Amino acid sequence: MAFPKTRMRRLRASAALRGLVRETQLQAGQLMLPMFVAETATGSEPIAGMPGVERLSLAAAVEEAREAADLGIAAVLLFGVPAQKDEHGSGAWEEEGVVQAAVRAIKQAQPELLVVTDVCLCEYTDHGHCGVLRDDGTVDNDATLELLARTAVSHAQAGADLVAPSDMMDGRVGAIREELDGEGYSQTPILAYSAKFASAFYGPFRDAAGSAPSFGDRRGYQMDPANGREAVREALLDVEEGADMVMVKPALAYGDLIAAVRRATGLPVAAYNVSGEYAMVKAAAAAGHLDERAAVLEILTSLRRAGADTIVTYHAKDAARWLAEQS
């Protein structure tokens, strides 16, 4: 039945009608706020390209977490910026490490707020790669697994609600699951960065976390942006290894894969709206080319529509404020 019997505009005539038939809802409780906790930071230090995002001292991180909780944001995702780095990234699993201390402090101050930890070695290795290196400079997959598992356990011990491995080593979800279970943390869920692409959109993050590789790049372990079927395979493998949630990262250029991973796995899916995506919106808004509020809410809604249950985004606090004003 087509025009003139069908008129699509009928249901667009008023805000009430549009609200009645809106297919996708966006709520603060679906957002996760990434935070950079730096051992050497005093207060909050600005990050180039990411206005409104800062490298935080422990005290500033607790304050930021309180703000997130007050705004109804579901979770914070912690990245550590340690004072010392070494070849193996041993700061990643230190009991008194920067992330472990932040988890304890935030959980004590905000017991209801979910604290998720990024599990990787790149912020802690002096070469900036996500695992230990062989003599030829490539990342040794199997030797890295044990270190990642040790790191995840140290996060769980500190009180992390979820651990989120982002390294893209093969077999790491299984290795982490086994170690967590063996150490008494069978109830700690794993949010796997399943389809993490070697993307040009991570630029500002690497400055923020001080994790740029000192040589080469990450294309030997992160995914080729051209590959969609492979992303689904990665997600399905993580499901088999015991992932509780899967992630697609970055988000904006990967909506097709958020949808595909959602269909293929049936697991809750997270999308990571990354630093470069944030920086683009901020820069365009600052130059007067975009209405920031409208653009951000449209972007986040589109990720929900693509199939993301949870969105990791640097816009989380602003979005939560805007959503509260709307309702």
Nearest distance from residue 249's CB to Zn ion, in Å?
Answer: 11
Residue 180 binds to Zn ion (criterion: CB under 5 A): no
Task: Tell me which stretch binds Zn ion (CB under 5 A): 117-125, 142-150, 229-237, 289-297.
Answer: 117-125
Shortest approach of Zn ion to residue 292 CB, angstroms?
Answer: 29
Specify whether 249 is catalytic. yes
CB of 130 to Zn ion, least distance (A): 3
Least gap, CB of 153 to Zn ion (angstroms): 18
Among 85, 249, 282, 317, the one annotated catalytic:
249
Q: Is 207 exposed, middle or buried (0-12, 13-18, 19+ CB in 10 A)?
A: middle
From the list 33, 122, 269, 300, which residue makes contact with Zn ion (rule: CB under 5 A)? 122
Q: Which is nearer to Zn ion, 151 or 313 (CB)?
A: 151
d(CA 223, CA 221): 6
* Binding footprint of Zn ion, residue count (CB under 5 A): 3
Beta bridge partners of 77: 34, 116
Contact criterion met (CB below 8 Å) for 245 and 268? yes
- CA 15 remoteness from chain centre: 33
Helix (H) or strand (E) segment spanning residue 35: strand 31-38
- Of 64-72, 126-134, 246-254, 318-326, which part binds Zn ion (CB under 5 A)? 126-134
Contacting residue, 38, 74, 120, 158, with Zn ion by CB under 5 A: 120
Active-site residue, 85 included: no
- Per the residue annotation, which of 5, 85, 107, 196 is the catalytic one? 196
Q: What span, in angstroms and rounded, lies between the C-alpha atoms of 88 and 38?
A: 19
> Given the rule CB under 5 A, which of 6-14, 51-59, 115-123, 311-319 is the region that contacts Zn ion?
115-123
Residue 113 interacts with Zn ion (CB under 5 A): yes or no: no
Nearer to Zn ion, 60 or 122 (CB): 122
3-state DSSP helix/strand/coil % of the chain, to nearest 5: 45, 20, 35
Q: Where are the alpha helices (DSSP H) in the chain?
A: 15-20, 58-70, 98-109, 141-158, 172-182, 203-209, 229-241, 255-265, 275-286, 292-306, 316-326
Stretch that binds Zn ion, among 119-127, 190-198, 285-293, 306-314 (CB under 5 A): 119-127
- Reduce the DSSP state of residue 111 to 3 states and report it: coil
| 130 near Zn ion (CB under 5 A) | yes
Distance CA 72, CA 165 (A): 25
Give the residue numbers annotated as catalytic, written as ranges: 196, 249
- Contact residues: Zn ion, CB under 5 A: 120, 122, 130
